[in-house]
Amino acid sequence: MKSKRLAAALLVVVLCFSQFTVAFANKKTDAQNKKKEAEENLDKKNEEIDKIQKEQQSLQNEIDQLDSQLVQVMIDLSTLEEELATKQDELAQTQEELAQAQADEANQYEAMKKRIQFMYENGDSTMITSFLEADNISDMLNRVEYFNEMYSYDRQLLVTYQQTKEQVAALEQQQETEVAQLQQTQADYQTAATNYQNTIAKKQNSMDGFGEKLKQAQELAAQYQDTISQQNTVIAKEEEREAQEREQAARAAAQAAANQNNNSHSGTGSSSGNSGGNSNTGSSGGQNLNPAHTTSVSGSAVVQYALNFVGNPYVWGGKDPNTGADCSGFTSYVYGRFGISIPSYSYAQRSVGQEVSYENAQPGDLICYAGHVAIYMGNGQIVHAKGTAYGIVGYDNATYRPIITVRRVL
Q: Any idea what the CATH number is for the domain that residue 163 is in? A: 1.10.287.950
CA proximity to 236, closest of 21, 20, 28: 28
Higher pLDDT pick, 101 / 103: 103
Among candidate residues 325, 343, 334, 299, the one with its CA nearest the CA of residue 386: 325
Whether 278 maps to a domain, the answer reads: no
**Residue 380 clears pLDDT 60, i.e. is over it:** yes
Statement to judge: residues 212 and 358 lie in one domain: no
Cβ-contact 301, 338 below 8 angstroms: yes
pLDDT tens for 269-320 read: 433 333 333 333 344 444 689 999 999 999 999 999 999 999 999 998 899 9
Q: Is residue 173 in some structural domain?
A: yes
For 230-380, strand residue ranges (E) read 319-320, 324-325, 354-356, 366-369, 372-378
Instruction: Identify the pLDDT of residue 313.
Output: 95
Q: Render pLDDT for 54-89 as a digit per residue (tens, 0 to 9).
A: 888 888 888 888 888 888 888 988 888 888 889 789
Q: What is the pLDDT of residues 307-358, one digit of tens each?
A: 999 999 999 889 999 999 999 999 999 999 999 999 988 889 999 999 999 9
The domain in which residue 201 lies consists of 40-226
Q: Looking at 226, 241, 264, which one is the last position of a domain?
A: 226
Query: Of 410, 45, 391, 56, which is closest to residue 211 (Cα–Cα)?
Result: 56
Give tens-digit pLDDT for 175-221: 888 888 888 988 888 888 898 889 888 888 888 887 888 888 888 88
pTM above 0.75, yes or no: no
Cβ proximity of 406 and 366 under 8 Å: yes
Phi then psi for 339, rounded to 5 degrees? 80, 15
205 and 294 inside one domain: no
Report the CATH number at residue 334: 3.90.1720.10
Q: Number of structural domains, the chain?
A: 2
Residues 185, 294, single domain; the answer is no
* Pair (338, 213) in one structural domain: no
* Residues 207 and 292 placed together within one structural domain of the fold: no
Confidence category of residue 28, pLDDT binned at 50, 70, 90: confident
pLDDT single digits (tens) 47-61: 888 888 888 888 888
